[in-house]
Amino acid sequence: MAQAEHTPPEGAAADWTIPQDWDRYTPQEHALWDHLFARQAAMLPGRVVPEFMAGLDILRMTRPGIPDFAELSERLMKATGWQVVAVPGLVPDHVFFDHLANRRFVAGRFIRTPEQIDYLEEPDVFHDVFGHVPLLAHPAFADYMQAYGEGGLRAGGLGAIERLARLYWYTVEFGLIRQEDGGLRLYGAGIVSSYGESIFALDDPSPNRLGFDLRRLMRTRYRIDDYQQTYFVIDSFEDLLRQTVETDFAPIYAELGQEADFDTATVVAEDRIYNCGTQAYARAKEGLT
């Protein structure tokens, strides 16, 4: 999402954007995208929120090869007024928030190597485009992303970036959503772009699955190096947007500054619990079982 460096690297514009240089992708890179796409597209129906699959169709992302950002942006602009812009990697917070506030989604242009097919630390074009962009064709989610960017610009002046980053992490990256039949579906980009976590997040008894609560979520630390120990479940994109737009975050930041953080696996009495996790996965990774 962001990095400490505040000077654009050589070749980048003042807003950190760079040309995608789509013609420079090799046949091997396009083939790797197609492999990743086919693997996810085969297992996500019935697991991911229907709006995600609809976004793939609206944006014609089922076509082979790494998408051309110019063509993708043209279709996305018609749907919700968003566009996709290439950046050289992680960007400073204020740059990231400003792009979102102006309905521009920043995406890395490189693609992982075959050796990194199941995990890489820095988001690549598959994570950024396959994971994030389909839901930007959904009006309520598109508006939420813009509202988040506007909130980020305000949070910077309040010293609350870390709190707000948790909202992004537990919704945009690793969010679950409740369906009308009571079942849960995936929507977070970090899940839907990961074969392993697409299964783990819904099926494994190990993680907590808790009802979305803004203050609770912003007190909760998260993992950047493995599957999550807690997932938060929203009721709808419209409700997520409403809470974001109608909430005055400044007093919440002040209140939370006086309270201790929750560990990644904590469950408290006030939580709405869909699943109280066994944490067996985390304990096994730490050699405690």
pLDDT tens sequence across 126-181: 999 999 999 999 999 999 999 999 999 999 899 999 999 999 999 999 999 999 88
128 in any annotated domain? yes
- Number of structural domains found in the chain: 1
Within a domain: residue 222?
yes
The verdict on residue 6 lying in a domain is no
Q: Strand pairing of 230-234 and 83-87?
A: unpaired
Residues designated as active site: 127, 132, 173, 193
Residue 65 covered by a domain: yes
3-state secondary structure of 280: helix
Residue 21 has pLDDT above 90, yes or no: yes
Contact 47, 186 (CB under 8 A): yes
User: For residue 78, what is the domain's CATH number?
Assistant: 1.10.800.10
User: What is the predicted pLDDT for the residue at 282?
Assistant: 87
pLDDT at 201 over 90: yes
H helix runs in 204-279, sequence order? 214-218, 237-246, 249-256
Range of the domain at 158: 22-285
Question: Is residue 4 over pLDDT 70?
Answer: no
Residue at 256 is within a domain? yes
Is 8 within the bounds of a domain? no
- Tell me if 11 is assigned to some domain: no
Please report which confidence band the pLDDT of residue 73 belongs to, taking 50, 70 and 90 as the band edges: very high
Which one-letter DSSP state was computed for residue 182? S
Q: Is residue 88 part of a domain?
A: yes
Is residue 117 very low, low, confident or very high in pLDDT (cuts 50, 70, 90)?
A: confident
Q: Does 178 or 7 have the greater pLDDT score?
A: 178
